């Protein structure tokens, strides 16, 4: 049965890939982002995949715009079943070079955009006692890295906000579910238009994955009541290292984190920046790193099938035990 899905940050990158993946199921998808032209392109992809699309130009940092978009999605597509909070903004710079207005804006988009989206979704889901909210997180919500303090801080805040909400939903015995999908480095256009004060062109920290990998995780998480879903071995490694050996991770990132986030190419003087206004013409699902990006994650595949894998292991163990008992 098709569902009504809202995806923020849907004009490019992971959000666009997720919207298309929901469309491939035949879902009705409301796409939220600032760029009308980027949304129009993304809507065409959703409809080509088999879904119904509704473009809702929205700045998620504005709570009133988010509420208005939610109302239109309900009115034009039907009761919201799934809300995906994916919109983000980042700045590449050491803390000593950050500007207060830039930090505020990145926080408003990435953190408060998630808060406003979650609150808008709850206003419709709670009275019906059903629905799923998917927070698109990152390994950086557990393990912060240099040069992205504003973004890491926002992702940490999203995880704290989500954990609080989860306990409240459990307390109320609510049928609304909230989950968080923790992403690895992804090949998206954000590295072409994010604000940067670095000397060289920003890049995702390798290994890099194509946006379709987290999109698959987002769709899967919307259907399965998992507390969190960790996507890819690199995300798992970063999260576990943050838990078990944070000081070692600090020193490792101090040595490697600067070069790992920059290519050898200098930043051009006319580089676009989407922090305050959308950049036209660059909206796409993939960024420039196709040649280095993987389109699959064995860890995600196994995580999505862990119950069946565990069952298979149990059956095999039982069979082996029975065989040994006959000897």
Residues with a catalytic annotation lie at 151
Q: Token pair 């995880």 is at which residue?
A: 159
> Cα–chain-centroid distance for residue 16?
11
Q: Token pair 């990158």 is at which residue?
A: 13
CA distance 5 to 23: 9
What does R_g of the chain's alpha carbons equal in angstroms? 20
Angle at alpha carbon of residue 213, lines to 264 and 186, rounded to 5°: 25
CA distance 160 to 141: 9
Burial class, 3, CB count within 10 angstroms (exposed 0-12 / middle 13-18 / buried 19+): buried
Q: Token pair 């912060």 is at which residue?
A: 144
Is residue 55 classed as helix, strand or coil in its secondary structure? strand
> 131 forms bridges with which residues in the sheet?
176
Q: Are 43 and 118 in contact (CB under 8 A)?
A: no
CA distance 215 to 227: 17
């Amino acid at each position: 049965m098709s569902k009504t899905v809202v995806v923020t940050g849907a004009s490019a990158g992971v959000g666009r890939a997720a919207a298309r993946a929901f469309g491939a199921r035949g879902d009705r998808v409301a796409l939220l982002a600032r760029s009308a032209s980027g949304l129009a392109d993304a809507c065409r992809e959703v409809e080509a995949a088999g879904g119904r699309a509704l473009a809702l130009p929205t700045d998620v940092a504005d709570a009133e715009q988010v509420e208005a978009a939610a109302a239109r999605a309900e009115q034009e597509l039907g009761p919201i079943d799934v809300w995906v909070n994916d919109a983000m903004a980042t700045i590449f710079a050491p803390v000593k070079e950050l500007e207060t207005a830039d930090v505020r804006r990145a926080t408003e988009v990435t953190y408060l955009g998630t808060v406003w989206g979650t609150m808008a979704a709850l206003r419709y889901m709670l009275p019906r006692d059903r629905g799923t909210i998917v927070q698109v997180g990152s390994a950086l919500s557990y393990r912060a890295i240099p040069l992205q303090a504003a973004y890491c801080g926002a992702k940490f805040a999203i995880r704290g906000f989500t954990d609080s909400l989860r306990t409240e939903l459990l307390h109320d015995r609510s049928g609304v579910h909230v989950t968080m999908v923790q992403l690895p480095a992804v090949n998206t256009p954000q590295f072409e238009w994010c604000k940067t004060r670095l000397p060289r062109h920003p890049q995702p920290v390798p290994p890099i994955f194509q946006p379709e990998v987290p999109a698959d995780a987002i769709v899967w998480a919307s259907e399965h009541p998992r507390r969190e879903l960790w996507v890819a071995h690199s995300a798992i490694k970063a999260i576990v290292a943050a838990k078990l050996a944070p000081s070692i991770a600090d020193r490792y990132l101090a040595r490697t984190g600067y070069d790992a986030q920059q290519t050898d190419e200098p930043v051009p003087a006319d580089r676009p920046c989407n922090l305050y206004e959308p950049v036209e013409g660059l909206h796409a699902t993939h960024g420039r790193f196709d040649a280095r990006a993987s389109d699959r994650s064995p860890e995600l595949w196994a995580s999505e099938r862990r119950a069946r894998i565990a069952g298979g292991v149990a059956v095999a163990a039982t069979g082996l035990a029975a065989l040994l008992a006959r000897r």
